[in-house]
Amino acid sequence: MIGNPAATAYRGGVGDDTWAGLADLFVDEAYASVKGRVRTYVMHQQLLEHLPPPPATVLDVGGGAGHQSFPLAQAGYQVTLLDPSPAMLDKARQRLQRLPEEVRGRVTLLQGDGENATEALHGRQFDAVLCHGVLGYLDRPEPMVDQLCRCAADGGLVSIMTGNAKAAAVRPAMEQRWEDALAAFDARTEIGVLGVSGRADTVEEISELLLSRGVEPLHWYGVWLFVDWLEFGGAVLDVGDAERVAATAAVELEAARRDPYRQLSRVFHLVGRKGPG
């Protein structure tokens, strides 16, 4: 792909690991925040509604430090995490060492580009394929979606989380950047919270890509709503208040299932199931 430095950031795993400069910020700050914990919890619950029971096999494409797939390994799933960034895989190894030996034995870490996943995995297929927070770093979603569908076994789940193009004006509006918000109604790209350019899609567009590759969309959810608005509005959320974090996550989980709330989420989570070959 050409032209998008964010695409280079995702794909630069071998020679020039652009994520090396972002790994600490991504893992130690973003995921350690209330917002990060809410994302992990909400998506975990959504996945459990559709995943086959453990010890089913799960492929996490662009899985970073394992925040979404390691809890699945703890629940008994056999997890393969594929990521192009050595820096992110180092973070994954560090986090993995803090887990019990039994859980570590259910996790395989593999360096590789998701757009060449079938080659990296030698054609192996999985009961579930996750790709969360990756499509927005690519110029086009089609090559990655093609690989995700190829890596799913017949009857397997495909889970995609990416930016919601229909809610692109939310962040600049909450930050009172009114000119940017007005432009965002018709925009597909923005500079994200990590300072990296990102691109958004719609549920309908990604659903169509899945359908054309033999994967039937089952359901879609929102991911962040109120915590997003609070953060961009300047509120400080205390990650140390466990009771309040749990209450926040419960509200976010419910909003993620319902219209019109899910439609206003800055991120959406779409799950589909692959039909017989």
Question: Above 60 in pLDDT, residue 121?
Answer: yes
Q: Indicate if the pLDDT at residue 6 is higher than 50.
A: no
- Judge contact between 62 and 10, C-beta under 8 A: yes
Q: Is the pLDDT of residue 76 over 60?
A: yes
**pLDDT for 221-272, tens place per residue?**
999 899 988 888 888 888 889 899 999 999 999 999 999 999 999 999 999 9
Helices (H), the chain: 5-11, 23-24, 34-48, 70-74, 86-96, 101-104, 117-120, 142-151, 170-174, 178-184, 203-211, 226-232, 242-257
How far, CA to CA in Å, does 107 sit from each of 31, 93, 101, 249? 20, 10, 10, 27
Largest CA distance in the chain: 53
pLDDT at 159 over 70: yes
Q: What is the DSSP string of 25-37?
A: IIIIIITTSHHHH
Which pLDDT belongs to residue 195?
Answer: 63
Q: Looking at residues 137-156, what average pLDDT do you find?
A: 97
**Rounded to two decimals, what is the model's pTM?**
0.88
Look at residue 130 and tell me whether its pLDDT is greater than 50: yes
